[in-house]
Structure formats: structure tokens, C-alpha cells
Amino acid sequence: MAKEIVKKIKLEIEAGKATPAPPVGTVLGPAGINLQEFCTKFNDATREKMGDIVPCEITIYDDRTFDFVLKTPPAGFLLKKVAKVQKGSPKGANQIVATISEADLRSIAEIKLPDLNAYTIEQAMKEIEGTARNMGIAIAGVNDKELAEQAKEAMEEEKEMAKREAELEAMEEEAKADMPVDVPVIGDEDKDKENSEEE
């Protein structure tokens, strides 16, 4: 008789470094599987990918046994690794943090192809290019000129906004300075009335 699937869990773990401690233990502990056995099997299966983050889909059965399938590392992780940056741009495509080559893009697309909704390398490259764009990573000869132009426009817009804000602040300060000191604040008379009535 086929075993019944109780749960499917997705985790992203550093290759070769799974331990029963959190976060692995926290997620898998309540599922009742043998944590040490999972960690050993995962570490053996990912030893050659040391340094990579490896997504893993774990299927847990009613008898507390399990299977797992390894997926390809996240596109964002691979892009940061190739671009040698710690993180993507907080401003997305409006700020370029790194530039990679078209060959780098193709190699990431080849790694990711099994897990993408793409049938060709070209389609996969388009998908990875979109992720790279959102992270502020340009692809030399593909979209670097366009992104540089976009980043320049965004910077000018930012300067313009900062200038407008500074002008507004200055106008507000000026307006405050011109105000007579003893201007009653509307609404205070009602409070005074209430207070005197209470007394």
C-alpha cells in the first residue's frame, strides 16, 4: 500500500550545512521526522554545492519517513554570487549596484532552467534578466545602457524632489517667522470656556 503524504515543507538551506538546530529543527521538529537523518542525507546530497543556498522540498509520510527533492539555488542568490555583491539595490532598477556579462546571465539561466516556466535558454535568460533588473544588476551589452539612463533620470528626479522639499521647508520657516507671537489658536477659546464653566 502506498504511504500517505502528511505534509510538504519547503526550506532553503546552505549546502552541506544542515543541522538539527534552528531554522531546520524549528520547521521539521513538529513534523516528527528524524532530524539527524534528514541533515545527514541533505548534507551528503549537497556537499558539491558548498557555499550555495539550496531550496529543498521535503515530503513527509504518515509513518514519519520522508523524501526530499533538491531545487536549483534562487536566481537572486546566483546573481549576487556572480556579481560579487552582498545585496541588491534598495531602489531596484533605479540604482545599478553591479554589471554582469551576457555569458554570466546565460550560465545562471542554464542552472535555473529546470525550475523555471521556460522551455528554452532564451526564455530562461529573459526571466533571470527581469530578476537582475529588479535587483539593480545590469547585463553588459543587453540592458546596461538603458538601466544607466534610468538610474541617471531617477537620480535627477531625486535631486529635484530634495530641492523642492528644501524650498518648502524654507517657506514654512519663513511663514512661521512672520507670524505674530500672540495669535490665538482657533479652538482654544472653546477650551477656555469649558474650563471656566467647570470652575
* Predicted confidence (pLDDT) per residue in 137-157, tens digit: 888 776 767 777 777 787 888
Could you tell me the domains of the chain?
5-70 (3.30.1550.10), 73-177 (1.10.10.250)
User: 70 and 45 in contact (C-beta within 8 Å)?
Assistant: yes
Please state the pTM of the whole predicted model: 0.63
Can you give the C-alpha Rg of the chain in angstroms? Answer: 29
How far apart are the C-alpha atoms of 183 and 74, rounded to whole Å? 62
In this structure, what C-alpha cell is assigned to residue 199?
470652575
Instruction: Give percent above pLDDT 90 in the chain.
Output: 27
**Number of Cβ atoms within 10 Å of the Cβ of 105:** 23
Q: 79-132, pLDDT tens digit by residue?
A: 999 889 888 888 776 778 888 888 888 999 999 998 888 889 999 989 998 898
**pLDDT for the residue 98:** 83
Distance of alpha carbon 25 from alpha carbon 85, whole angstroms: 30
- Residue 172: strand, helix, or coil: helix
Q: How far apart are CA 153 and CA 74, in angstroms?
A: 30
